[in-house]
Amino acid sequence: MENISVEEIEWHDAELNEIKIESLKDAYDSIKIILSSNNFIEGYNSKKITIILQEVFKAKFEVNMWITGNDVISNVSVKNDSEWLRQVSENKKGNFGPKTMKHLIIRTNTDSCFEFLITKDLILEY
């Protein structure tokens, strides 16, 4: 396992195999995103990697399913200014705040969209 930033991962065209959510009361303890791609073999010696998001403050899942085939990542972005971050700034709950958070958005070829407010770098398992 290693810490990694969003920008260091080759997301484009990776297949989205699974999303696992582990939660405590009123919080997401961790969200695991399992991806596979031939592009991962060179850097990680594996076709499949797991990306772990820790201390997820907020998450939104919009899922569109097709009859066959896997979702493929088409775009990943990180916003420094968003409505979610502005809401957190106004509420300022605990140690969380917009300066320590990132708004991560993952879009797929089926127009599915997954959004996360995260407080730490990603953890990568391969």
State the Cα–Cα distance between residues 42 and 27, nearest whole angstrom.
35
Query: What is the predicted pLDDT for the residue at 74?
Result: 94
* CA-atom Rg of the chain in angstroms: 15
Summarised one tens digit per residue, pLDDT across range 40-72 is 988 889 999 999 998 888 899 998 876 566 789
Beta strands in the chain (DSSP E): 2-4, 15-24, 27-36, 48-62, 71-79, 102-108, 113-118, 122-125
State the Cα–Cα distance between residues 107 and 126, nearest whole angstrom.
22
Range of the domain at 120: 2-125
| Residue entry with tokens 């991560």 | 104
Summarised one tens digit per residue, pLDDT across range 83-122 is 888 887 776 655 555 567 889 999 999 889 999 988 778 8
The number of folded domains in the chain is: 1
Cβ neighbours, 10 Å, residue 16 = 20
State the Cα–Cα distance between residues 117 and 105, nearest whole angstrom.
9
Query: What is the predicted pLDDT for the residue at 95?
Result: 56
